[in-house]
Structure 1
Amino acid sequence: MLELKNITKRFAGKLILDGVNLTVNDGQILTIVGPSGAGKTTLLRCISGLEETDSGDFFLDGQPFNPVTNRNNDTVIGVVFQDFQLFPNLTVLQNVTLAPTMVLKQSKAEAEATAQRLLKQLNLDGKADLYPYELSGGQKQRVAIVRALAMRPKLLCYDEPTSALDPDLRKEVEEIILKLKAEGMTQIVVTHDIPFAESIADQMLRVEAKS
């Protein structure tokens, strides 16, 4: 269970997050919705440790937790970025196995076996040796999810996972997220797509732009 208490964040003196409180229970999906500039992505970046908060506290399973300084954060919180952030010079398999071998110190064989299993699970059979430019947008999205899952996170965060996808691929991402929920994965999804958010959410947080 992840808890946020009174999380506050400013940029250049402007208040972006004002005392945010929320709880995400294990195995559930929280969607964060709201207009552009309201702080959705900032909140996600704070949760994942990519931004430091100005004040407030995080708790993981009841224990104080700092996403920025936690040494094992790669295996606690995974992030699927809006632009995928795949390395263009690496194959799909290399993209997926890079962090497990470097951070988790897995052997190449172990990392590749996990990668192949996850690629098959997300219908990416036969794509391991392709480069990102050879993939469709939906395939890149799934590779980004596989890469995050390969780090065995407790919680998986997504930043606008359907923004660049057509309706059919949006449905595909929805099915993947719900499948991961059925397997027990806790997930936080930032999206501007309200119908998508409503179709996957156990709870929804609406954020509003500060005047």
Structure 2
Amino acid sequence: MLEVKNLQKQFDGRQILADVNLTVKDGEILSIVGPSGAGKTTLLRCITGLETPDAGGFLVDGQPFNPQGTDTSDAVIGVVFQDFNLFPHFTVLENITLAPQMVLKQSKEEATQAGLKLLDQLGLTGKGDLYPYQLSGGQKQRVAIARALAMNPKILCYDEPTSALDPNLRDNVADLLMSLKAQGMTQLVVTHDMDFAEKIADEMYRVEPKS
């Protein structure tokens, strides 16, 4: 379980987040919603360690947690970025296996075996030798999810998972997130798409713009 306690963040004197408190329960999906500019992505970046909050903190399973801490943080929170952030000069399988080898110190054989299993699980069997430019948007997203899952995170976070995809793929994304939930994955989803948020979420947290 992830708990965010009294989180605050300012940019150039403007309050973006003020005393944010939320909980993501084990095995559930929390959707963070709100209008553009309200601070949804800033909140996600603080949770994932990409931004430093001005005040507040985090607990994972009741213990203090620093998202910007040591390499162990990589095994706690995984991130699927809005634009996927795949390495264009690496194959699909290389994208998935790089971090487990470098951070988790897995052997190449171990990382490859796990990567191939993830590709099968996410409907990408036989795509391991392709490069990102050879994939559709939906396939790139699944590779990005596989790359995050390869780090064995406790919590998987998504930044606007439907925004870079055709609208008709929204239900496919929802089905994928629900299948991961069925396997016990705790997930946090930032989205402006209220219909999508309501479809997938066990709980909703709304971020309001500050005056």
TM over 0.5: yes
Match of 1:82 in 2: 82
In structure 2, what is the Cα distance between the partners aligned to 1:121 and 1:201? 22
Give the deviation of 1:70 after TM superposition. Answer: 4.0
Which structure 1 residue ranges, 4+ long, deviate > 6 Å from structure 2? none
In structure 2, what is the Cα distance between the partners aligned to 1:45 and 1:115? 26
In structure 2, what is the Cα distance between the partners aligned to 1:118 and 1:135? 17
Q: Which runs of 5+ in 1 are unaligned?
A: none
In structure 2, what is the Cα distance between the partners aligned to 1:190 and 1:30? 9
Is the 8 Å Cα contact of residues 5 and 57 (structure 2) preserved in structure 1?
yes
RMSD across aligned positions (CA): 0.8
Show the 5 A alignment for 1:1-211.
Answer: 1-211=1-211
How many percent identity over aligned positions? Answer: 70
Amino acid at match of 1:170: R
Give the deviation of 1:34 after TM superposition. Answer: 0.8
Q: If the length of structure 2 is used for normalisation, what is the TM-score?
A: 0.98
In structure 2, what is the Cα distance between the partners aligned to 1:57 and 1:83? 27
Is the 8 Å Cα contact of residues 157 and 187 (structure 2) preserved in structure 1?
yes
Q: Which runs of 5+ in 2 are unaligned?
A: none
Give the deviation of 1:166 after TM superposition. Answer: 1.6
How many residues get paired? 211
Give the deviation of 1:170 after TM superposition. Answer: 1.2
Q: If the length of structure 1 is used for normalisation, what is the TM-score?
A: 0.98
In structure 2, what is the Cα distance between the partners aligned to 1:87 and 1:70? 23
In structure 2, what is the Cα distance between the partners aligned to 1:64 and 1:98? 28
Q: What SS is found at the alignment partner of 2:89?
A: coil
Give the deviation of 1:167 after TM superposition. Answer: 2.6
In structure 2, what is the Cα distance between the partners aligned to 1:13 and 1:27? 37
In structure 1, what is the Cα distance between the partners aligned to 2:33 and 2:110? 38
